[in-house]
Amino acid sequence: MSGNVRLLSDTLAAAKEEGRSALIAYLPAGFPTVDGGIEAVKAAIEGGADVVEVGLPHSDPVLDGPVIQTADDIALRGGVRIADVMRTVREAHAATGAPILVMTYWNPIDRYGVERFTAELAEAGGAGCILPDLPVQESALWREHAEKHGLATVFVVAPSSKDERLAEITAAGSGFVYAASLMGVTGTRASVSSQAEDLVRRTRATTDTPVCVGLGVSNPAQAAEVARFADGVIVGSAFVKRMLDAPDAAAGVEAVRALAGELAKGVRGQV
């Protein structure tokens, strides 16, 4: 069974042909429950997201700020497992036809087994993985199995990345490059870092792979700002916060759908 790396590439290319950035949403699996998380992913796509990253909840999420840490804690206390992450990918992709990636730290994959994880993700219809803490120089085993199963390998670059390092990272990755707009953890912010545009420019000098920007984008105006220079706009904490603030699970799903619609207008410059 081959994964959906081609679907991911085609989706990003289609957005570019429309003269806009793609909207990429992030939501953790198992939050507020496994079923509720699946409904939220579907709502994000139905609302206007082109791609969704499904987070694999982790007890030590070094890149994630307090909002996503709170959601991860709820999911972990609810007993979420990797099988639930795969189910989330499978059911969301089957219902929407959209590319679904998993965002995960390396330790859970290493413990689960690289071959097992990639095979199951491909079988579920997944498009690939975002691996924020896997060093490129230690990624050969992962990339071998991901390529075999038709999965994208998305690495993260940061404003601190030197040009030589950017070239090394982009040469090894596929699908898109995740450009972290600032040094720090995920979260909503009043403004998007000015470092983001320079990072995209420097990253594009090393690759034709789309460059998508995350960390700090939370509203349509910020999405429009980033969409001017990035191939994709990644939003996570704002979606999770809407769900955390909702009075119940059903309202949380509708809040995700509404935010996706607002951000979809943002990436199209309709704000």
Catalytic residues: 53, 64
CA angle 250, 85, 210 (to 5 degrees): 95
Two structure tokens written together for 232: 């994709």
Range 12-19, long-range pairs (CB < 8 A, 24+ positions): 12/50, 12/51, 12/176, 12/210, 12/212, 12/231, 12/232, 15/50, 15/231, 15/232, 15/267, 16/210, 16/231
